[in-house]
Structure 1
Amino acid sequence: MSTPPTAASDSPTFMRRAWLVVGLLFPVALLNYLDRQMIASMKVSVMGDIQDIGSEENWGHMLASFKWVYAIFSPIGGYIADRFSRKLTICGSLFVWSLITWLTGHVGSFNELYWARTMMGISEAFYIPAALALITDYHTGGTRSRAVGVHQMGIYCGVMVGGFAGFVADAPDLGWRFMFDFTGLAGILYAIPLLLLLRDVPRQTSLDSNGDVSARPSVGVAVVELLTNRNFILLVMYFTLPALAAWVVRDWMPAILQKAFNISQGKAGVSASLYWQGAALLSAILGGWLADRWMRRSERGRIHVSAIGMMLIVPAMFGVGNAPALNSFALAVAALILFGVGWGFFDCNNMPILSQIVRPELRATGYGIMNFVSMMCGGVADWGFGAMTDRGVPLNMIFGVFALVCVFSLVLVLMIRPKPGT
């Protein structure tokens, strides 16, 4: 179990530092998802320029490759952040992925693009586990879900800004390569002040079953402890299954809307990202506030708020899948907004729930394992969706399956039993 927060963690100076950390990481989260999302909004331009991409399945394979290497390296990045320094892990990740983003704007073939996106997946994998673990290190009590929610807002802003990349790609004087050059340089430059201002917090002390202070675990001990934790396994499954739908929505919705409603690449990119990410942005703050308040009455408060979000995602999947067949752009937008509301409630509480079931020294590693499983499955979903699209499988059938998966996920989260006092 973990020792109670010290008096210093409740002091005004410490809390100012805690919120400063969230503020410093907000732009990093934005860049993290902008750099990975904008290629979906510029798909037509990229495929038109790099013609040896050839097919939807090849495009899906490239997206899947990013996710698979991201998945493999997420536990490694999490363990490094737990074992050494969260600050250095974050700053190093930002610098390297930003350099690769810049290089992506200079590729000339599908093979070069494929390997650039693969290397970006490796470098970005180190960020999220370290960042969320650092935030929960600072926010030890009644502000945890809100702090994570504010950080996740950066992710949603990144996806929304990425949605406008289609307009930049369509601009004759700019083009898709400009976006990669600009965002890559922005990340490289921001890594310098971030390294100077960001600080690790002294680690919380954990006690083993005998009441003795426990050391930072080795790789083997960490993996065994996590994988024999029933609640952790349930959370991994709960974290993974809804992400199958989310990755398809994030990566393929611009192309889906453009084809189904015969709209421009720019409008499709904005419509596919702005509505649901804007809704998620607002609901992450609301969900974080509600979860923190609910925790005053019940240790399952964050679980209940996350479950409410999952209940909203289920009908949203049916709406997204059926809108093209009904030729209703309004239904597509409404379903995406509902999906965003549900996703915000879900997303802002995953790390806080993890913090209730594992000790502090394993949080980044645990989140890395969650990312590993989720992204591996997300890569299969991306590749599979491209293959099914080539073979004419109806969208309402695909998203109907996603809806049923979310119903099962709802059952899983309600089975989690957090530790008292966490």
Structure 2
Amino acid sequence: MPAEPIDADLTDRSPGPGRLAWLIVAMLVPVALLNYLDRQMLAVMKTSVMADIPDIASRENWGFMLGSFKWVYALLSPVGGYIADRFGRRLVIVASLFVWSAVTWATGYVEDFNTLVATRALMGISEAFYIPAALAMIADHHRGATRSRAVGLHQTGIYAGLIIGGFMGHVADAPDLGWRFAFKACGLVGVVYALPLLMILRDPPIRTDAAAKAHREASAFASIAELMRNRNFLLLVACFTLPALAGWVVKDWMPDIIKERYDLPQGSAGVYSVLPVQIASVVGVLLGGWLADSLMRRTVRGRIYVSAAGMVLFLPALFGVGFSEHLWLAVVFLIVYGIGWGFFDCNNMPILSQIAPPDRRATGYGLMNLVSISCGGFADWGFGFLRDRHVPLAVIFGAFAMIALISAVLMLMIRPRPELTETPRADA
């Protein structure tokens, strides 16, 4: 195997990113919004969808349907990442948006449980290609002291999508609109937005020397094998996966938990379960991105410390959500959870960029998605199984809190590679 290429711009003191780098982030924010809106709104419209499609029948089936998206998404993520590394990010991003938006539109026409599962699986195929390619493109254009902030800004689109999704219960309840209208409208918006995205996005220049070309053109199996031999990458996969077990349950099941536990209508439950977490997450990614980039001027482990701090915040938050008997107290703990999630979320790709070369980052993120979201699908399914058997929420969320503590310890064991870490700049 030829020597690994390094990100040449990381070791110099060149000026920060230009207008194109920030324009690309700005163009990708609405795509991230649609990516998560199209996922989230099904969770908050559960009552309406189950009433309209009665053969869903049970919470276990509902959890299986949610899991079907995640398992397909997870399985295809490394494939999407490898294609983005091998052939470029731009076309992968645009094609992913177009196809998943078309599937979202088609979901508005489903009439039975099996068809609903099929559309969620198809959405998983198309959405699997977006996140690894988008975050790798941002890391390509933000090669130094703005990387965590740029990723954090992109992630605000995700939280905006989740926030808007939280209000979709009201759309589902509206007699003149309904859940089918929501899917058709969101799908159409995504299909239309794919055109300006295609015109504006640009892949950065790539190195053309023989070593870099051979490294970039390695087979998918060789790329994956190289990453799997990387101790730091395996630790990052574990840190990316374990907190997400609770994360997926919070995203997909919290509307149902709030509705049942505090006896609220579907629309209000969606707002209370989504809004506090996602607004706090926006604050968390912006603050966490700034703090991580600032700490990188003092230590190459700055982003690792901020991510671990976010995981530590999960402990009181998850225990609190599990034990809260009052709605206002649950909201407070969901806010703490959201801030911690933001600290964690804005630093995953930047930390990956410190341990894997540029032409392995989308593949690496795809592998992280494979493990994390596969486990998240089982978490969704398992949570429905446990709730059908009346296992207390305090027990379930207490277990999630202990898992978060393990994640923080593993994160602190990661050691960045000096040749892949930007030199701190006094003027950054």
Give yes or no for contact 2:79–2:363 (8 Å, CA) kept in 1: yes
The offset of 1:195, in angstroms, is 0.6
Q: Which residue of 1 aligns with 2:235?
A: 234
2:88 maps to a residue whose letter is S
Q: Which residue of 2 aligns with 1:95?
A: 98
State the distance in 2 between where 1:52 and 1:262 align.
25
2:335 maps to a residue whose letter is I
Q: Which residue of 1 aligns with 2:363?
A: 365
Deviations 1:184-212 (A, max 9, x none): 0000000011011111111357997xx99
Q: How does 1:401-412 map to 2 (within 5 A)?
A: 401-412=399-410
Q: Which residue of 1 aligns with 2:162?
A: 159
Q: Which residue of 1 aligns with 2:345?
A: 347
1:122 aligned counterpart, secondary structure: helix
* 1:193 equivalenced with 2:196 (yes/no): yes
Q: 2:389 aligns with which of 371, 388, 391?
A: 391
Q: Which residue of 2 aligns with 1:322?
A: 323
Q: Which residue of 2 aligns with 1:104?
A: 107
State the distance in 1 between where 2:253 and 2:366 align.
25
* 1:146 equivalenced with 2:172 (yes/no): no
In 2 relative to 1, CA 390–298 (structure 1 residues): closer, same or farther, beyond 3 Å? same
In 2 relative to 1, CA 181–405 (structure 1 residues): closer, same or farther, beyond 3 Å? same
Deviations 1:25-75 (A, max 9, x none): 000000000000000010000001111110000000000110000000000
Q: Which residue of 1 aligns with 2:426?
A: none
State the distance in 2 between where 1:419 and 1:227 align.
16
State the distance in 2 between where 1:230 and 1:39 align.
38
Q: Which residue of 2 aligns with 1:220?
A: 221
1:106 aligned counterpart, secondary structure: coil
The number of residues matched between the two structures is 416
1:297 maps to a residue whose letter is R
- Cα RMSD of the aligned pairs, angstroms, is 1.8
Q: Which residue of 2 aligns with 1:5?
A: 9
Q: How does 1:4-403 map to 2 (within 5 A)?
A: 4-5=8-9, 10=14, 15-203=18-206, 214-323=215-324, 327-403=325-401
Give yes or no for contact 1:86–1:131 (8 Å, CA) kept in 2: yes
The offset of 1:158, in angstroms, is 0.4
* Identity across matched positions, percent: 60
Give yes or no for contact 2:10–2:143 (8 Å, CA) kept in 1: no
Give yes or no for contact 1:309–1:346 (8 Å, CA) kept in 2: yes
State the distance in 1 between where 2:213 and 2:109 align.
55
State the distance in 1 between where 2:108 and 2:215 align.
47
2:133 maps to a residue whose letter is A
Give yes or no for contact 1:302–1:353 (8 Å, CA) kept in 2: yes
In 2 relative to 1, CA 164–5 (structure 1 residues): closer, same or farther, beyond 3 Å? same
2:268 maps to a residue whose letter is K
Give yes or no for contact 1:32–1:155 (8 Å, CA) kept in 2: yes
TM-score, structure 1 as length reference: 0.96
Give yes or no for contact 1:206–1:360 (8 Å, CA) kept in 2: no
State the distance in 1 between where 2:283 and 2:408 align.
22
Give yes or no for contact 2:7–2:358 (8 Å, CA) kept in 1: no
In 2 relative to 1, CA 281–6 (structure 1 residues): closer, same or farther, beyond 3 Å? closer
In 2 relative to 1, CA 297–98 (structure 1 residues): closer, same or farther, beyond 3 Å? same
The offset of 1:294, in angstroms, is 0.3
Task: Give unpaired runs (5+ residues) of structure 2.
Answer: 422-428
State the distance in 1 between where 2:221 and 2:37 align.
35
State the distance in 1 between where 2:383 and 2:19 align.
45
TM-score, structure 2 as length reference: 0.94
Give yes or no for contact 2:152–2:346 (8 Å, CA) kept in 1: yes
State the distance in 1 between where 2:179 and 2:257 align.
20
2:144 aligned counterpart, secondary structure: coil
Deviations 1:101-129 (A, max 9, x none): 00000001111111011100111000000
State the distance in 1 between where 2:328 and 2:54 align.
34
Deviations 1:365-399 (A, max 9, x none): 00000000001000000000001110000000000
State the distance in 2 between where 1:143 and 1:320 align.
34
2:197 aligned counterpart, secondary structure: helix
In 2 relative to 1, CA 407–8 (structure 1 residues): closer, same or farther, beyond 3 Å? closer
Q: Name which of structure 1's ranges 412-421 and 65-74 shifts more when overlaid on structure 2.
A: 412-421
Task: Give unpaired runs (5+ residues) of structure 1.
Answer: none
In 2 relative to 1, CA 372–220 (structure 1 residues): closer, same or farther, beyond 3 Å? same
The offset of 1:255, in angstroms, is 0.4
Deviations 1:115-158 (A, max 9, x none): 01110011100000000000000000000000000000000000
